[in-house]
Amino acid sequence: MTSRTPLPPSPAELARLHEDVVTWFASAARDLPWRRGVSPWAVMVSELMLQQTPVARVMPVYEAWMDRWPTPAALAADPPGEAVRAWGRLGYPRRALRLHAAATAIVADHGGQVPRERDALLSLPGVGDYTAAAIISFAFSGRAVVMDTNIRRVFARVVSGVQFPATAVTAAERELATALVPDHVPHVWAAATMELGALVCTARSPRCQECPVAELCGWRAAGYPAHEGPARRGQSWEGTDRQCRGRLMAVLRDAVTAVPKASLDVVWPDVQQRERCLDTLVADGLVEPVDADSFALPGHR
């Protein structure tokens, strides 16, 4: 078992939980560019960039992106390969293609404005349940159940009394998260719990002595029981297809013209792996064959 059946706090405990977390956030929140009263488009860009990517790596790419493409229309007017190029080394570059496709859909179907309705958001490329909820909350100050990794870990520890949540979101977990959303400033609650998980209730070295809700924490009260589920392993990198794909993409991003196949061949010694990775990049729409022996980013002119 990875968790016990979570029960929502009592009304008094819930009120205290809301007050303590929101009060802590008012003084502890990081000054991040996507929190500075920006447009819904800026929030959407930040959310896709932040998926599985640390804040420090995202910030310079985000700021350059928004300087170049401050609106969906600006991005949609450029070829998708330019989005991939600007994505740089953030990883998972298909997110750049999805952002470009979403910008194109926003211009075509929503008058160039990011929609605020959940169903409309879910219809956009690259937008799933989490991203739609985050846009509703952070861009429009709406009431939504935002459940990223940090938030889920905070709720697992404070309310459910376990070290980590289940690998995938369960119905019981979502029901609990819904019950925890306050009627007042729900968007602040979402941002505050996310920040608490990122800065204090971290995965590997939680700083419980700095936690504003340590006295309410079920995991602390239970004596910090160890995780009982499958071992949580980090992702390998060296020698993987992801590393190979990254090497190939780096050559294509840095080129202003189509790249001869020979220039790609020299960046990875394993011929079979290199060919397989190039094929998957083409299949994913991240690379286009220009002719029989050269390649470029999509939308090559």
Rounded average pLDDT per 10-residue block, the chain, 301 residues: 60 95 98 95 98 95 98 98 96 96 98 98 97 98 96 97 94 95 96 98 96 96 88 76 95 94 96 96 96 91 65
Per-residue pLDDT at 234: 62
User: 80-87 vs 241-254: helix axis angle to the nearest 10?
Assistant: 110
> Are residues 245 and 290 in contact, defined by beta-carbon separation less than 8 angstroms?
no
Report the candidate in 203, 194, 202 with the shortest Cα–Cα distance to residue 29. Answer: 194
- Dist CA 188 CA 115 (whole Å): 20
Count of CB atoms within 10 A of residue 41's CB? 25
Long-range CB pairs of 6-13 (<8 Å, 24+ gap) are 6/155, 6/159, 6/160, 6/172, 6/173, 6/176, 7/159, 7/176, 8/159, 8/176, 8/179, 8/180, 9/159, 9/180, 9/216, 13/216
Chain-centre distance for alpha carbon 17: 25
Token pair recorded at residue 179: 């019950």
- Tokens 């239970």: give the residue: 222
Q: Is 47 a catalytic residue?
A: yes
Residue type for position 239: G
Q: Is 78 helix (H, G, I), strand (E, B) or coil?
A: coil
Q: Is 223 helix (H, G, I), strand (E, B) or coil?
A: coil
Task: Write out the residue limits of the CATH 1.10.1670.10 domain(s) in the chain.
Answer: 12-29+144-221
- Dist CA 18 CA 35 (whole Å): 20
Assigned architecture for domain 241-296: Orthogonal Bundle (1.10)
Task: Write out the residue limits of the CATH 1.10.340.30 domain(s) in the chain.
Answer: 33-140
Per-residue pLDDT at 1: 39
- Tokens 């022996």: give the residue: 293
- Dist CA 134 CA 285 (whole Å): 27
For residue 70, give every residue at least 6 positions away whose Cβ sits within 8 Å of its Cβ, in sequence order, or none. 39, 41, 42
> Are residues 44 and 114 in contact, defined by beta-carbon separation less than 8 angstroms?
yes
Query: What class is the 12-29+144-221 domain?
Result: mainly alpha
CA atoms within 13 A on the CB side of 214: 10
Catalytic position from the list 13, 19, 47, 288: 47
- Dist CA 126 CA 132 (whole Å): 10
Per-residue pLDDT at 227: 87
Assigned architecture for domain 33-140: Orthogonal Bundle (1.10)
Q: In what order do the strands lie in the sheet with 259-260?
A: 259-260, 294-296, 288-291
Per-residue pLDDT at 3: 44
> Are residues 173 and 155 in contact, defined by beta-carbon separation less than 8 angstroms?
yes
Please state the φ and ψ torsions of residue 174, each to the nearest 5 degrees: -65, -40
> Are residues 162 and 2 in contact, defined by beta-carbon separation less than 8 angstroms?
yes
Rg over alpha carbons for the chain, rounded to the nearest Å, is: 22
Task: Write out the residue limits of the CATH 1.10.10 domain(s) in the chain.
Answer: 241-296
> Are residues 114 and 72 in contact, defined by beta-carbon separation less than 8 angstroms?
yes
Per-residue pLDDT at 229: 72
What confidence tens digit (pLDDT) does each residue in 173-231 have?
999 999 999 999 999 999 999 999 999 999 999 999 999 999 999 999 999 999 887 76
Report the candidate in 51, 59, 52, 53 with the shortest Cα–Cα distance to residue 30. Answer: 59
